[in-house]
Each structure stands twice: as structure tokens, then as C-alpha cells.
């Protein structure tokens, strides 16, 4: 199963991906998570990417493409993968096509998780993340019973810099301008499936199982 999850920030790609990963036993590859790890580790890529990420802008294509060429050539991707947050621009999609054809493999599908901008802002501006274990909460929809501390590990809950409202609006603008064109790109290849991101958290899995 080789799948791309497309959709705006806050569509619930990470949550949907978890169900798919468990069912198909394939790696969930999130470029956002990979980049945050680089920032945390203080690598050269992390230092270059941080400024773009904090500002809600896209990290340059050449950096992302090199990172993904490396990741997709790892052994755990041989049986399939679920891409989340990549590709995000037309040049990235074209680079992925070239890479996959070099590897002699094809995509099985691209699932678009559809949500309105208002829902995205409500979800992301209330999101809080545990600094220690990465658990995710929401101030209204899923608050921690321990206030500003993580229920699971007691770690401090914080708001990602890019989850501030003005940055969310910028990320949405970037999505509509640079990533939304990928919908017609994959539609043209007959690969696109649309799923509401405002329904069940296993909606993507259900669509893929119906394949
Ligand atoms: P995410 O967690 O997927 O929302 O990603 C967080 C941030 O990482 C984005 O706002 C971008 O700055 C950067 N990023 C993640 N994936 C990509 C990508 N494929 N291309 C460019 N920038 C990316």
C-alpha cells in the first residue's frame, strides 16, 4: 500500500494515518515530524528549516526532496508507506514521480482529507502538545485532566509556534496557493479520492480498504 494523504494543516492527517499504519503495518512518514526532529536535534537541516516553519512558510523544495529521497530508500519502505505532508508543491510531486519510477514502483492512491478553513483554525489554535512524549490535546475538545501538564507522562504542554492564529491563517493561504493544485494533478492521474475530515477518524482507512 503506497499512499499519499493530502489536506490542509489541521485536517487530521496524523490521526487518520495512525489507523492506516496499524492496519497495513506500513511506516507513516510525516515530513513535519521529521523536520521537527531535525530542529530538536539541532542538525544543519533543522537550523535551515526552523525559520520557515515558525513563520508558517514552506521549507525549500530541494531540502525536502533530498530528505525524502533518503527516507524512501530505507528498507522499511519496501512493503509500502503512507506519506503525510509530502508532496506539498508541484515540483515536489514531480520529484516524487521521478523517484518512484526510478524505484520501479507506483502509487496506489491519494486521499484528500477535506475540511473548511474555520474548522482548521478552531482545531489548531486550541491544540497543545506534550513537550516530553508528544501526546496531543485540545483546550476545548480534549483537555488534559492535569491542566497544563500531560495526563500520560506529566510533561509540560505547549502550543507550537506555528499553531498561533496568525500563523495558521498564513499556513492555510500557503496550502490554497501551493498545495491545493496537487488535487487536480492527482485527479488527472485518476488517483484522487476525497474524504471528509470532519467525520470519523478512520474514514481514510475505510476508503483504502474499499480499494
Ligand atoms: P506539518 O506538521 O505537516 O504541518 O509541517 C509543519 C511545517 O513543516 C510546515 O508548515 C512547513 O514549514 C514544513 N514542512 C512540512 N512538510 C513540508 C513539505 N513537504 N514542504 C515544505 N515544507 C514542509
pLDDT band at 211 (very low <50, low <70, confident <90, very high): low
Whether the predicted pLDDT of 135 surpasses 60 = yes
pLDDT band at 81 (very low <50, low <70, confident <90, very high): very high
> For a pLDDT cut of 90, what percent of the chain falls above it?
93
> For a pLDDT cut of 70, what percent of the chain falls above it?
100
Q: Whole-angstrom Cα distance, residue 206 to residue 211?
A: 9
The residue whose C-alpha atom lies closest to atom 12 belonging to ligand 1 is 53
Whether the predicted pLDDT of 210 surpasses 60 = yes
Is 173 labelled a binding residue?
no
- Rounded (10°) CA dihedral 209, 26, 109, 83: 140
User: 140-157, pLDDT tens digit by residue?
Assistant: 999 999 999 999 999 999
Is 104 labelled a binding residue?
no
Q: What is the pLDDT of residue 162?
A: 87
Q: What is the DSSP letter of 149?
A: B
User: 33-77, pLDDT tens digit by residue?
Assistant: 999 999 999 999 999 999 999 888 999 999 999 999 999 999 999
Q: What is the pLDDT of residue 55?
A: 87
User: 89-109, pLDDT tens digit by residue?
Assistant: 999 999 999 999 999 999 999
Domains (ranges, CATH) in the chain? Answer: 2-26+79-115+173-208 (3.40.50.300)
The residue whose C-alpha atom lies closest to atom 8 belonging to ligand 1 is 32
Q: Whole-angstrom Cα distance, residue 130 to residue 134?
A: 5
Ligand 1 site, CB within 6 A: 9, 31-32, 35, 52-53, 56-59, 64, 85-86, 88, 92, 162, 171
Grid cell digits, residue 166: 496568525
Mutate to test the pocket of ligand 1, among 31, 125, 129 (most ligand atoms within 8 A of CB): 31
> What are the C-alpha distances in Å from 205 to residues 12, 21, 195?
13, 9, 10
Q: What is the pLDDT of residue 161?
A: 87
Helix residue ranges, H only, 42-180? 44-54, 61-72, 90-103, 117-125, 165-174
Q: Whole-angstrom Cα distance, residue 64 to residue 154?
A: 34
Q: For residue 88, report the distance from its CA to the centre of ligand 1, in Å.
A: 8
Catalytic residues: 13, 88, 127, 160, 171
Is 77 labelled a binding residue?
no
Burial of 70 (0-12, 13-18, 19+ CB in 10 A): exposed
Amino acid at each position: 500500500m503506497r499512499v499519499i494523504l493530502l489536506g490542509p494543516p489541521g485536517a487530521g492527517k496524523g490521526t487518520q494515518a495512525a489507523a492506516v499504519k496499524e492496519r497495513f503495518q506500513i511506516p507513516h512518514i510525516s515530513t513535519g515530524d521529521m523536520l521537527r526532529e531535525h530542529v530538536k536535534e539541532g542538525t544543519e537541516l533543522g537550523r535551515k528549516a526552523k525559520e520557515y516553519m515558525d513563520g508558517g512558510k514552506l521549507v525549500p523544495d530541494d531540502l525536502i526532496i533530498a530528505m525524502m529521497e533518503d527516507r524512501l530508500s530505507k528498507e522499511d519502505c519496501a512493503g509500502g508507506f503512507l506519506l503525510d505532508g509530502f508532496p506539498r508543491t508541484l515540483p515536489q510531486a514531480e520529484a516524487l514521480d521521478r523517484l518512484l519510477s526510478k524505484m520501479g514502483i507506483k502509487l496506489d492512491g491519494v486521499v484528500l482529507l477535506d475540511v473548511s478553513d474555520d474548522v482548521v483554525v478552531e482545531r489548531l489554535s486550541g491544540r497543545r502538545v506534550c513537550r516530553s512524549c508528544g501526546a496531543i490535546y485540545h483546550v476545548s475538545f480534549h483537555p488534559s485532566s492535569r491542566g497544563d501538564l500531560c495526563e500520560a507522562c506529566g510533561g509540560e504542554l505547549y502550543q507550537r509556534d506555528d499553531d498561533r492564529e496568525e500563523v495558521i491563517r498564513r499556513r492555510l493561504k500557503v496550502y490554497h496557493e501551493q498545495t491545493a493544485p496537487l488535487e487536480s494533478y492527482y485527479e488527472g492521474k485518476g488517483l484522487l479520492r476525497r474524504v471528509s475530515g470532519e467525520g470519523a477518524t478512520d474514514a481514510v482507512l475505510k476508503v483504502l480498504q474499499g480499494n
